[in-house]
Chains A and B, each alone.
Chain A
Amino acid sequence: MSEYRELVKNFEKVRSYMREFYVYGFKSRTEFDSKSARSYDDERRRIESWLGDHMGFVRTRDGKNAFISIDSRVSTHNPLYKGLKTKSFTDKDITLHFILFDLLSSPEIKMTLDEILDGLDAYLSAFPSPMLFDESTVRKKLREYISEGIICTEKYGKSNIYFRSVNTQLPKSSEGIHFFSEVMPCGAVGSFLLDKYPDTSDKVSFKHHYITSALDSDVLALLFEAMHRKCSVTAVNYSRHADLPNKIHIVPLRVFISVQTGRQHLLAFDLNHGRIKSWRIDYLAEVEIGDECPSFDNYRALLEKSRQYMWGVNCSKTDKYLETVEFTVFVDDGEEYIVNRLEREKRLGKLERVDDNHYRFSATVFDTGELLPWIRSFVCRITSIKFSNRTLENRFREDLQSMYELYGIGGEGE
């Protein structure tokens, strides 16, 4: 049985625990699908150590439930980034890392592998039982650091010489990096940069700020890389709505980010089904970049063309099956803010003034169901509504009736 460690080799498992604790937070220990209760205990202990006061516990009849509660308006730095700073390493990894960069302390210092090995021995002689580094271990680490862009190499006669990369100077003030670390995709990288500052500012805070995507940073970075190289990827889709994980083979086209629902979708061409579909990025794992896709530009152009009919992330194979919706709202005198709301919140479609107190919104989209939540937000002033999809219209009306009943409206005496 392995000993508990605070760091982890693979983020995938802890990613799902952090998500469960943060988004839901009502599952008891016995409900987690882990192989053992000990596994749950270890993950919970790790996350508690990383997140400190953001972790809470409550006793229920089912046992002790762990949850993560973060008011992202108060917490100016996304605490979930801490989870991405927990990669484990070997004793040799860390020892070699710090000695290597001390040996190569400036870009002007250039050393061969033999010189580095000699240098290592000299440093390690300060210890009673010095570690032994063979040539292949050091060469492998150098290769790894070359691919990370922090070590450079060039030929010198028959040998390779190694030196550290020239550093890129960060801005003096950290506010900008802080801002983008919270609002840009893969913001975790910005958080890594902030770690280089002696002090970081809290001069910018965030409202309506979804932070869960931090947990998907690695997946997102790989998807961007695939797009950059115009490649297909394979991935496993762990949808909550499917019984089993599903392996997919897709061409990633664009990431659709919602700042109103906290969800991020990948729009990609499904090579198995021959159409553009959307996948929740938080459900994707085990992403592997495959071959270059010659049709990448065509698929992307198709997605761009489809956007005119996409309220959200649902995309159809063709524009033959379009749906329409129109609804009219009452706007009283002095309620111009409602018109402003309609103007700024409509993502597509048309807003028309019907008369002094009525405005009509209409749109043609692939899936009018995606507009339902938005339309409901105008409840109290909707004077007419019409969907081409009659099932949806009935659903809207039934839902409204259910809401009346839920709140006890419309019974006797009303």
Chain B
Amino acid sequence: MIFSELYSAYYNAVAEIITLVINGERDEKRLREAVCDKAFSESVLEVLPSLKSGKWQIITQSLETPIKNKPTLPLTLLQRRWLKAVMLDPRVKLFGIEIEGLEEVEPLFESEDYLVYDKYLDGDDFEDEGYIIRFRNILKGLRESTPLRITYLNRQGDEVVFCVLPERLEYSEKDDKFRLIARGSRSLTTFNLNRVLRVTAVKGTPPIREKISPPETRSVTLRIRDERNALERCMLHFAHFEKHAERLDNGDYTVRVNYSVDDETEMVIRILRFGPFVEVVEPQSFRELIIDRLKKQMSIKI
């Protein structure tokens, strides 16, 4: 169903080449760039030679084409069915997506076909009208690189106003929340969207720092003892991080995981979930974080 040449990078690359040739662009270097852009690093060895040799009879050796129109393809049924499924999701309103012509289309899946069973229960209210408006204002600011005035409810329950340049929205599937990452006058600031009260565009140029370093990244090395399927559980659990694993001589494994310093406490909690099968090897400072919790637990004597 999904693995089809209709969606292949080669078809996309050839469509781009035909478009360029129709537009009078016959510089081979430019055509090679198009292949690299649309397909893969070794595709240049296949795509242009196949076209020029007449293996694929779409472009002639002299880089002309009998094709008259810029290649386009209607959406496949699969694509329309997926879009129909998307249209059933409450988050679709955030992006203001409206697609005509899907009335008769059966969705590829519906809410009763799947369940995200372990997301947190205090996710954002994506159907709240105010939330939707604020989300769209932020998205507009992002599209237009417009500074924004954000009125925010901080942890103490006070309203605070920030002038920031939006960098990106970040969505956590586990938290089921959006956050705005924005540049302020001093640092990168993260705003939970459910605590943003008002968003307005700022006229003029507020003081916003040009360059801000991203949050510090650290690494932690874990030793995994493969009992009770710990290896697979651990490797999958940390799969979304940049990581590297090795096997040790005694049959254990080590994995070095890079994480953002802002998420250190979360990392401690995530590692504790694996019990005695995943041990923090280094750095010692991280090991101490685990030891500290274990000592506290030991003192409770359950």
Q: Which residues of A contact B (CB under 8 A)?
A: 5-7, 11, 22-26, 45, 48-50, 52, 56, 58, 60, 67, 69-74, 82, 84-89, 91, 93-95, 97-99, 101-102, 105, 122-124, 126-131, 147-150, 164-171, 173, 175-177, 179-180, 183-186, 188-190, 192-193, 195, 201-212, 217-218, 221-222, 224-225, 227-228, 240-241, 254-263, 300, 310, 312-313, 330, 340, 343-347, 372-374, 376-377, 379-385, 397, 399-400, 402-410, 414
Contact = CB atoms under 8 A, between A and B. Distances in A.
Given A98-B18, A409-B295, A6 B85 contact: no
A102 B69 contact: yes
Residues of B contacting A: mostly: mixed
A148 B179 CA distance: 38
Q: Among A99, A148, A403, which residue has the most Cβ atoms of chain B within 10 A?
A: A403
Contacts of A404: 294, 298
B132 interface: no
B74 interface: yes
A346 B269 CA distance: 15
Contact of A176 (B67, B97, B115): B97
Contacts of B58: 94-95, 98-99
A406 B241 CA distance: 25
Contacts of B64: 126
Given A86-B9, A91-B50, A180-B86, A261 B66 contact: no
A186 B99 contact: no
A127 B5 contact: no
A120 to B, nearest CB: 10
A5 B245 CA distance: 29
Q: Among A25, A300, A385, which residue has the most Cβ atoms of chain B within 10 A?
A: A25
Interface of B: 1-12, 14-15, 18, 38, 40-43, 45-46, 50, 54-58, 60, 64, 66-69, 71-80, 82-83, 85-86, 89, 91-92, 94-102, 106, 108-109, 112-122, 139, 142-143, 168-175, 179, 181, 229, 232-233, 235-237, 239-247, 253, 258, 260, 269-270, 272-276, 279, 287, 290-298, 300, 302
Nearest to B95: A176
Contacts of A58: 244, 246
A131 B171 CA distance: 50
A123 B40 contact: no
19 contacts: A70-B240, A91-B55, A94-B58, A97-B11, A98-B18, A124-B57, A149-B76, A167-B72, A185-B85, A189-B79, A189-B108, A190-B82, A205-B169, A221-B1, A240-B232, A347-B117, A403-B294, A414-B295, A414-B298
A403 B293 CA distance: 11
Given A95-B57, A206-B172, A340 B66 contact: no
Nearest to A217: B2
Contacts of B54: 127-129
Given A102-B67, A192-B7, A262 B170 contact: no
Contacts of A254: 112-115
B71 A98 contact: yes
A224 to B, nearest CB: 4
Contacts of A183: 171, 173
A404 B259 CA distance: 25
B143 to A, nearest CB: 7
B272 A377 contact: yes
Contact of A49 (B40, B94, B240, B276): B40
Contacts of A52: 40-41
A88 B5 contact: yes
Given A102-B67, A176-B86, A409-B298, 11 more contacts: A102-B68, A177-B86, A204-B171, A207-B171, A209-B173, A224-B109, A262-B240, A373-B274, A376-B272, A377-B272, A382-B297
A205 B18 CA distance: 33
Contacts of B270: 377
Contacts of A347: 117-118, 121
Nearest to B274: A373
A85 to B, nearest CB: 4
Contact of A203 (B40, B67, B143, B244): B143
4 residue pairs, one from A and one from B, having the closest CB atoms: A149-B77, A176-B95, A402-B276, A380-B293
A60 B246 contact: yes
B199 to A, nearest CB: 15
A45 B40 CA distance: 12
Contacts of A128: 54
A97 B5 CA distance: 10
B294 A169 contact: no
Given A98-B18, A261-B237, A69 B243 contact: yes
B169 A149 contact: no
Given A169-B99, A212-B239, A102 B71 contact: yes
A403 B275 contact: yes
B7 A22 contact: no
A253 B29 CA distance: 52
B74 A256 contact: no
Contacts of A149: 74-78, 80
Given A99-B58, A130-B57, A94 B10 contact: yes
Q: Among B10, B96, B118, B171, which residue has the most Cβ atoms of chain A within 10 A?
A: B118
B65 to A, nearest CB: 8
A407 B56 contact: no
B240 A72 contact: yes
A206 B6 CA distance: 28
Contacts of B269: 377
B4 A340 contact: no
A71 B6 CA distance: 29
A218 B95 CA distance: 27
B36 to A, nearest CB: 10
B2 A73 contact: no
Nearest to A67: B244
Contacts of A211: 239-240
B9 A382 contact: no
